[in-house]
Amino acid sequence: MMGPTHALSGAVAWLAAVPLIQDTALLQGYAVQLSPAQIAAGTVVCAGAAMLPDIDHHDGTIANTFGVFTKVLCTVVGKISGGHRNATHSILFALGAGYGADWLATHYEPAWWVLLFLLIGLGLRGLGIRIGTSDAFTGLLNALVAAGLVYWLHDVDMRWAGYAVALGCVIHVVGDCCTPQGCPVLWPAPWRLGLPLIPRTNGRAEKWVIAPLLTLSAVILVIRTAVGDELTDWLDGLA
Q: What is the pLDDT of residue 68?
A: 86
Q: What is the pLDDT of residue 120?
A: 86
Label residue 124 by pLDDT band (50, 70, 90): confident
Q: Give dist(CA 139, CA 48) in Å, integer.
A: 14
Q: What is the pLDDT of residue 230?
A: 55
The answer to whether residue 112 scores a pLDDT higher than 70 is yes
User: Which amino acid, 145?
Assistant: V
Give 131-182 pLDDT, tens digit per residue: 666 667 777 888 888 888 888 877 777 888 899 999 999 999 999 998 888 9
Three-state secondary structure call for residue 183: strand
Q: What is the pLDDT of residue 237?
A: 57
Contact between 132 and 125 (Cβ < 8 Å)? no
The pair phi, psi for residue 184, each rounded to 5°, is: -80, 70
Give 189-233 pLDDT, tens digit per residue: 989 998 888 877 767 888 888 888 998 998 888 887 776 655 455
The answer to whether residue 51 scores a pLDDT higher than 70 is yes
Q: What is the pLDDT of residue 40?
A: 85
- How much is the CA Rg of the chain, to the nearest whole Å? 18
Mean pLDDT value across residues 51-60: 89
Q: What is the pLDDT of residue 235?
A: 46
Give 4-36 pLDDT, tens digit per residue: 889 899 999 999 998 888 776 566 666 778 888
Q: What is the pLDDT of residue 173?
A: 95
Q: The whole model's pTM is what?
A: 0.86
Mean pLDDT value across residues 182-187: 94
Dihedral sign computed on CA atoms, order 77, 146, 214, 222? positive
Which range in 36-45, 56-65, 181-190, 214-223 is most confidently predicted, on average pLDDT? 181-190
Q: What is the pLDDT of residue 228?
A: 61
